[in-house]
Structure 1
Amino acid sequence: MTTQTATAPETTGAAPIVPSYVRDAWWTPADDVAGTEVRDANTGEVLARVSTDGLDLPGAVEHARTVGQRELAQLTLHERALKLKELAQFLNGRRDELYAISYRTGATKIDSMVDIDGGIGVLFTFSSKGRRELPNSNVILDGPAETLSRDGSFLGTHVYTPIPGVAVQINAFNFPVWGMLEKLAPAFIAGVPTIVKPATPTGHLTEACVRLMVESGILPAGSLQLVSGSARELLDSLDYRDMVSFTGSAETADRLKSHANVVSGGVRFTSETDSLNAAILGPDAEPGSPEFEAFVKAVVTEMTVKAGQKCTAIRRTIVPKGREQAVVEAISARLAQRVVVGDPRAEGVTMGALASLDQLRDVRGAVESMLDAGGELAYGTLDAPVVRTADGTESTVDGGAFMSPLLLTWDDVEAEAVHTREAFGPVSSVLGYTDLDDAVRLAARGSGSLVATVCTNDPEAARRLTLGIAGHHGRVHILNRETAKSSTGHGSPVPHLVHGGPGRAGGGEELGGIRAVKHHMQRTAVQGSPNLLTAVTGVWHTGADRRLAGAEEFGGSAENTHPFRKSLAELRIGDGFVSGLRTVGPEDILEFAEKTGDTFYAHTDAQAAEANPFFPGQVAHGYLLVSWAAGLFVEPAPGPVLANYGLENLRFITPVAAGDAVRVTLTAKRITPRVTDEYGEVAWDAVLHNQDDEIVATYDVLTLVEKEDTTYKNWA
């Protein structure tokens, strides 16, 4: 475990060095290293310096591959997921410290909440999904086994196991906390150590968050390292065992993707880059309608949250031709009414500064090139705005990276610049479309985007627009009066759903729940006998050895204990029970039909049933057979089995006619102890046979079972 406590950063003069955290220790360069200055986005004050001169990057990679891999492998998927919950709870109690630093990056309280609280929320979500949806082991099965021989002695299956290297996560400046935690969470659950490389302008906030995480003592040694500053040689130390997850500009992504270790060395590379996202207003959304109001609110929100510095922000506002002016006026009125630009520490400020003066120059330059290409300013100014300073006064600020929100219009909606140039700030353009096909075409001209909003209450318009743009977007957010209040919003990736997009957006995927965990794992096809596949996967496979209690004529033994009498401490994969036969009489079928109300003719009318090509005559209800199966395998006295909580994969295969008999074989297939509870889940393979040994039905029975048999002892 990392137990070293946080210490104050080293300083040279007035500007402290932002340290790196490598090989489970804090590191700073030599005192005479100048480094790159980091400034307060609101005032221009020098806050810190960053430098990696002298940092042993190959050593950091090797530490992750050895110590990090070893320590994470000692924990199961569930145990790692639980640590994320513990970490989230710890960070929740220290948010104020991060907020204080976040304000210096130009982020308002709401911006900071999106970044800091949003990142902590990702940890909670992945912890919960990891414990609910994954096995409590280090192997994940991918789908059912394939039978590769007639006698069932040779099977094949697919498994996920952690990649044996390190996840290098290169993050953008706009979300210094969320950007780190949303990538760390799935890698950590998968069992892959992380090296985080944040962007320089806001990396000091990432460092503060990492410092708290180290202080918590929750993370295993080697599982997280931080590089504060340049990491140009980091890819030199990577190979096929490792992966790089990049967020930033397409230009930088292309440069990284061209590295020899990515091109020919097998390094896995995924990226999230530029994105000219769109919002499309449906033809039915007239001014004054709920959809129109929700649309305007969404555009203004995306222009101003994080000062428009979001990869998901709305850059192109696509509206029905003839409605452009109404949209411009509504957006302008809301901006004028609700947006106060200034230092986030001042009362009433709703939009802060851009992250740096370099960022301000880039955004202004992009807007100027768009104006030169035919865009016109409909709202805002490129001049330095009057802002509210930290002391509450209104003035222009020397050194602050402040910018007015800007809304552009275009006479020529085909202008190349509006579909290719991204101004990464509080900037959006209004474009008019002629019909739905034209709206789809304009949205697709972004050449691949992260997200688009479709705002309409017309089901047909929603269908045509969504299906038309889906192939060009990673996410489509459909907005109408029913979701206006409950929607998480156009620009808010949620950990349950995939975040990424094709083409210009980078072609990668992040988040998406357990999908993101599997991105950090290798899927491997494994072939072998049922016994050996059971040993490798920890899941019983059909044909593997069993220890059956029950009817001796079908393989049971009186020497074996009924598996329902075993706690998790005693139960083993392959323990099971086989029943004797129970005959199904016509009176049983009719009684079940009468009691349940299921009087489908195949159960109640022998003559009609015989005319059905699927049935040999009057047949038993499938649910009657499943109910009887429970009666055949149940052990009724109190014991370690606490409850049956469901069935999975139920299939009825062979009809059971009146006069036939059925028996059940139950086998412990998968055992999942819960880390935080005194019980766990057991999945039982259930097979119903008839008197001719034909398979009648197959399914999995799910039960909750005590780790130790306390229920029976207390009852006795």
Structure 2
Amino acid sequence: MTTAPERVQIDVVPSFIEEAWWTPDRTAADGDGTVVRDASTGEELAIVSTAGIDTASAIGFARVTGQAELGRFTFHERALKLKELAQYLTAHREPLYELSAKTGATKIDSMVDIDGGIGVLFTFGSKGRRELPNSHVIVDGPPEVLSKDGSFLGTHIHTRIPGVAVQINAFNFPVWGMLEKLAPAFLAGVPTIVKPATPTGFLTAAVVKLIIGSAILPAGSLQLISGPARDILDHLDYRDLLSFTGSASTANHLKSHPSISRGGVRFTCETDSLNAAILGPDAVPGTPEFDAFVKSLVTEITVKAGQKCTSIRRSIVPSALVDDVVRAAGDRIRERVTLGDPRAESVTMGALASLAQLEGVQGAVRELLAGGASLAFGSLDAPDVVLADNTSGKAPDGAFMEPVLLTWKDVEAGALHSVEAFGPVASVIGYDDIQHAIRLAALGSGSLVATVCTNDPVVAQELVLGIAAHHGRVLILNREDARSSTGHGSPVPHLVHGGPGRAGGGEELGGMRSVLHHMQRTAVQGSPNMLTSITGEWHTGADRRFGDIHPFRKDLSALLIGDSVRSELRQVTLEDISAFAETTGDTFYAHTNEDAAAANPFFPGIVAHGYLLLSWGAGLFVDPEPGPVLANYGLENLRFITPVAAGDSIRVTLTAKRITPRETDEYGEVAWDAVLHNQDDEIVATYDVLTLVQK
């Protein structure tokens, strides 16, 4: 009698809960867990199981410890931690590439995922310090005056939500998908619980191990659940946010949960997307636009084996060019694409993430064929591939699939615009005119991204304005940006990543927009003094301090919001106005021609230049000797309100409005509220003066 070989025990992918690494009881893991396999070879890599995990406790830990620890830091301090983390991961990313290859990713695929994710950290680390105050509150817009005497104001502030951000991520980007959600949540000051997809979650866990090992992030700011977390929504409430990336069907299931439908959990999702690329009628074969379009199409169905939510699924081209596009794309695939194990040097396209994923994509293609598609390029048969040892052959346990191009006689067929094959698959369909192309793009019922490829500005305008409301992002591709473009399928952290309708209606990225998703906007009403105290920004009508020491003599350690200086009056003469006109060359008639100026309904006659008044204003408030003020670097919100005629006088009042120390420099920014008045105490001009001041 033959005895079956003893199964080799493999590791359980760990979770990180309440500042400790956690794995389930081995017996429970073996009985309840899912085996994860190498996408190219089928080798068993790990077991994924969360049997016995206490999700409620993890959520409570985030709300208490995570919130408290993150609350100790300002926006700028959090931004610096993101930068520090990005630098640390950059120095330790090589082992991640080895693990990434096991997911079927080529080196370029891994770079998009790993380096792209690290790049998001760098971006938010930089933008957070440039665009946010060095405080805990974001002021949203100018104040609203709610009383005649200015004693009652209203403004809006953003403060972080008091709960946890639970992030459920897809399998296709186990690194980028986590970091692009973690970065804005962390910058906002909201703790994160990451729940990666099972097939590639082992790579996410490896990144979290590096992050925790760096000791850069404060306690409770990041937790990891490796495996199912079916009860997690049961423990969330209005304080929390759930961010989901995955299928529309799963998103709809989550939306129906009582915690979201009735409990007020904030929910943002990024789901299925039948993204389109539209070839303009001018972009015929032989043009740079045609070549760029074909290159983009092939790139999008082969990078990550087409497993990108932003991949091109529908290529919408002039009807007469369908065959040309298919032929050119097929030629490029044959010339440029080598399918196989990503650990082989020659391979340019790897496997899908799992055999289950392969089965799903092939099933979707069969559904498309049954719905009216024709197979124009590629096959669903098991392909010959390059193996890890650089030989060629079949890989029965590998999730390999050839790139597939489909064509359609009925370009408005329901399946074409509703079934997504989440792999190396795209349809090439013809349009009759621009309006027809717009209608076809819109049949996707909302998408993450579309490309418009044309060198005709009129065509670009008509297409973009026609499809913009159906998409979260539109790339305009032509000969001018074909080399520098980041590409159809590459979200960048500066711009919105999300889309309406079928795409989920979310905005995972978008610079500071994604940070604000983790914050509550609140209208605050009160006196100028109260709003100044709450916002850390001086409001008109609040107390000013006029002391013996000029504010420009104070460094940041001594300068306070509300510190002010008021000048004496200075008279403006006709000779002053004429001299300024002559020396600057600004001889606009309002400053040089009495009759023409008087005929203007805005002026009483010849008036002083606005920039003359600003120059004099600086002369009236400046303290000339060397001191803590290092430089003037600009003006903001300048408005000229009352004209100043010859014989009038002006004075300036300057008040420290906003103080922003820089964490990494020996100086900070100070915004000064500047108001020019005339001799009748009428406001002449208002503006903010921006200076750099020593700490």
Task: Give the TM-score category using the shorter length.
Answer: over 0.9
Identify which of 530, 538, 548 aligns with 2:528: 530
**Amino acid in the other structure paired with 1:665:** T
CA offset digits 1:124-144 (Å, max 9, x no partner): 001100000000000000000
Distance (Å, rounded) in 2 between the aligned partners of 1:590 and 1:317: 64
Deviation at 1:14, TM superposition (A): 2.5
Distance (Å, rounded) in 2 between the aligned partners of 1:619 and 1:14: 88
Distance (Å, rounded) in 1 between the aligned partners of 2:43 and 2:419: 31
TM alignment of 1:177-576, pairs within 5 A: 177-549=175-547, 560-576=548-564
1:55 and 2:50 are equivalent in the alignment: no
CA offset digits 1:390-424 (Å, max 9, x no partner): 00000001210000000011111121111100000
SS at match of 2:485: coil
**Amino acid in the other structure paired with 2:58:** A
Structure 2 match to 1:4: none
Structure 1 match to 2:630: 642
TM alignment of 1:93-242, pairs within 5 A: 93-242=91-240
Structure 1 match to 2:597: 609
Structure 1 match to 2:652: 664
Distance (Å, rounded) in 1 between the aligned partners of 2:648 and 2:348: 74
Structure 2 match to 1:76: 74
Distance (Å, rounded) in 1 between the aligned partners of 2:593 and 2:471: 54
Deviation at 1:361, TM superposition (A): 0.2
CA offset digits 1:165-222 (Å, max 9, x no partner): 0000000000000000000000000000000000000000000000000000000000
SS at match of 2:47: strand
**Amino acid in the other structure paired with 1:319:** V
Distance (Å, rounded) in 1 between the aligned partners of 2:287 and 2:460: 16
Distance (Å, rounded) in 1 between the aligned partners of 2:635 and 2:422: 50
Distance (Å, rounded) in 1 between the aligned partners of 2:520 and 2:39: 42
Deviation at 1:546, TM superposition (A): 0.6
CA offset digits 1:218-274 (Å, max 9, x no partner): 000000000000011001010000000000000100111110000000000010000
Structure 2 match to 1:6: none
1:702 and 2:673 are equivalent in the alignment: no
1:31 and 2:26 are equivalent in the alignment: yes
SS at match of 2:497: strand
SS at match of 2:399: coil
SS at match of 1:526: strand
Deviation at 1:95, TM superposition (A): 1.2
Identify which of 611, 619, 643 aligns with 1:631: 619
**Amino acid in the other structure paired with 1:26:** W
Deviation at 1:373, TM superposition (A): 1.5
**Amino acid in the other structure paired with 1:608:** A
SS at match of 1:511: coil
Structure 1 match to 2:16: 21
SS at match of 1:495: coil
SS at match of 1:32: helix
Distance (Å, rounded) in 1 between the aligned partners of 2:594 and 2:573: 13
Distance (Å, rounded) in 2 between the aligned partners of 1:318 and 1:87: 42
Distance (Å, rounded) in 2 between the aligned partners of 1:701 and 1:628: 14
Structure 2 match to 1:591: 579
**Amino acid in the other structure paired with 1:260:** P
1:655 and 2:650 are equivalent in the alignment: no
Listed as ranges, the gaps of 5+ residues in structure 1 are: 1-11, 550-559, 708-716
Structure 1 match to 2:668: 680
Distance (Å, rounded) in 2 between the aligned partners of 1:125 and 1:232: 33
Structure 1 match to 2:607: 619
Distance (Å, rounded) in 2 between the aligned partners of 1:238 and 1:586: 70
Deviation at 1:13, TM superposition (A): 4.5
Instruction: Using the TM superposition, name which of 77-86 and 607-616 deviates more.
Output: 607-616
Distance (Å, rounded) in 2 between the aligned partners of 1:268 and 1:457: 42
Distance (Å, rounded) in 1 between the aligned partners of 2:673 and 2:657: 6
Distance (Å, rounded) in 2 between the aligned partners of 1:668 and 1:548: 11
Moved over 3 A (4+): none
Deviation at 1:327, TM superposition (A): 0.6
Structure 1 match to 2:4: none
TM-score by structure 1 length? 0.95
CA offset digits 1:630-676 (Å, max 9, x no partner): 00000011100000000000000000000000000000000000000
Identity percentage of aligned residues: 73
Distance (Å, rounded) in 2 between the aligned partners of 1:149 and 1:529: 10
CA offset digits 1:453-509 (Å, max 9, x no partner): 000001111011000011111111100000100100000000000010011000111
Deviation at 1:374, TM superposition (A): 1.5
SS at match of 1:657: coil
Distance (Å, rounded) in 2 between the aligned partners of 1:639 and 1:414: 71
Distance (Å, rounded) in 2 between the aligned partners of 1:312 and 1:492: 7
**Amino acid in the other structure paired with 1:703:** T
SS at match of 1:205: helix
Distance (Å, rounded) in 2 between the aligned partners of 1:13 and 1:574: 71
Deviation at 1:376, TM superposition (A): 1.0
**Amino acid in the other structure paired with 1:668:** A
**Amino acid in the other structure paired with 1:458:** D
**Amino acid in the other structure paired with 1:584:** V
Deviation at 1:281, TM superposition (A): 0.3
Distance (Å, rounded) in 1 between the aligned partners of 2:17 and 2:8: 25
- Count of paired positions: 686
SS at match of 1:407: strand
Distance (Å, rounded) in 2 between the aligned partners of 1:592 and 1:128: 41
**Amino acid in the other structure paired with 1:516:** S
Distance (Å, rounded) in 1 between the aligned partners of 2:560 and 2:372: 72
Distance (Å, rounded) in 1 between the aligned partners of 2:143 and 2:260: 33
Identify which of 665, 674, 678 aligns with 1:690: 678
